[in-house]
Amino acid sequence: MPSPSLEATLNGMPQVELHGFRPEHDLALVSTWVGRPHVTRWWGEPDDALAELRTHDAETVALISLDGRPVGLLCWQKPTSLELSQAGLSDLPSDLIDVDIMIGEPDAQGRGAGPEALRLLFGRLRAQGVAFAGVATELANRRAMSAYAKVGLVPFRDFVEVGTNFRYFTKCLTDAESPVHRKDAEGVSMARGECNCGAVQFEIDADLTDVFVCHCSICRKSTGSNGIAVVVVPNDQLRWVKGQEHIATWKKPNCDWQTWFCRICGSPVPGANDSKRMFAPAGSIVAGGDALRVAHHIWVGSKAPWDEIGDEGKQQPEGFRG
């Protein structure tokens, strides 16, 4: 019985492994990586990137090898509360571990080393009892965004730092490792959704039943109607089919409210409900929503005067109380 790594080699799959980082031995190699244009573009000035790695606890740095050759590195840390507040991310889970990844060898890009290295690190962190991991990427870094989607990282929020637009992604490590993708008899997913232009598409692996309608003044302005109707599902039940890179977000300043929309057609699209759950606009569900009924109305106390509620949904004067 071949070992898993040998089996991967025999199958022609690139073999990705993580190795301990020995600064005195490995920094020379890393210094060639940080000088490469495709790395400098995201990691900034080579000297600054190297200085930061020198001071990083070597226990929380790992070299990534692809078919036995070192091609990049991972480092991870608990973000400080100052860093989080400067990025407007103070509401991230307090025990979250923030991860940085670098694929330094140009010919190793696009071969799946990044997603596989992240998968290995997440497994290691999970075994250490870490519940949440997160990564940031510049909005312009499409390659990173598609790699993150592959390992189940979901968008948390967009933020601006020193004039550059970033997106923060999180992953709950205590979720099932690989959610079983349930399909019906015709091989169709249980629910499917899309924006008006079709650039953003997603699938939900769940029997959708409950719609939540928020009647608050912020949701009213956001949609131009009586509020917004959404379904809420655990993170691992929503899967992006395509178009995550077309999603824009806007957070209302000084307010626990954020909107997610297609930057091409403006339709509301799924976003983070909290660190464990996603919401999807009920109106974006195009298949698999036949059993949906309004279960709850929230912020009914501030609904528009012309908004008459005529269904059986439970009415709550303010936020959701179960």
Number of residues near Zn ion (by CB under 5 A): 9
- Of 30, 154, 199, 247, which lies in the binding site for Zn ion, with binding defined by CB under 5 A? 199
Q: How far is the CB of 37 from Zn ion (least distance, A)?
A: 33
The span from the CA of 196 to the CA of 174, in Å, is 34
For the purposes of burial, counting CB atoms within 10 Å of the CB of 270, is it exposed (0-12), middle (13-18) or buried (19 or more)? buried
Beta bridge pairs of residue 85: none
- Of 89, 214, 233, 282, which lies in the binding site for Zn ion, with binding defined by CB under 5 A? 214
Is position 248 an interface residue for Zn ion (rule: CB under 5 A)? no
Closest CA to 158 of 131, 140, 172: 140
Q: Count CA within 13 A, CB hemisphere, residue 17.
A: 13
Q: 161 vs 318, which CB is nearer to Zn ion?
A: 318
Is position 97 an interface residue for Zn ion (rule: CB under 5 A)? no
Could you give the residue ranges of the DSSP H alpha helices within 35-92? 37-43, 46-55, 81-86
Is position 262 an interface residue for Zn ion (rule: CB under 5 A)? yes
Q: How far is the CB of 321 from Zn ion (least distance, A)?
A: 15
CB 155 within 8 A of CB 169: yes
Is position 213 an interface residue for Zn ion (rule: CB under 5 A)? no
- Of 89, 92, 118, 195, which lies in the binding site for Zn ion, with binding defined by CB under 5 A? 195
The span from the CA of 235 to the CA of 175, in Å, is 8
Q: Are strands 314-315 and 293-298 parallel, antiparallel or unpaired?
A: parallel
Judged by CB under 5 A, the stretch of 151-159, 172-180, 181-189, 258-266 that binds Zn ion is 258-266
CA angle 12, 14, 17 (to 5 degrees): 140
Three-state secondary-structure class, residue 212: strand
- Of 87, 248, 264, 309, which lies in the binding site for Zn ion, with binding defined by CB under 5 A? 264
Q: 248 vs 265, which CB is nearer to Zn ion?
A: 265
Q: How far is the CB of 191 from Zn ion (least distance, A)?
A: 18
Is position 265 an interface residue for Zn ion (rule: CB under 5 A)? yes
Q: 93 vs 283, which CB is nearer to Zn ion?
A: 283
Judged by the rule CB under 5 A, the positions of this chain that interact with Zn ion are 195, 197, 199, 214, 216, 219, 262, 264-265
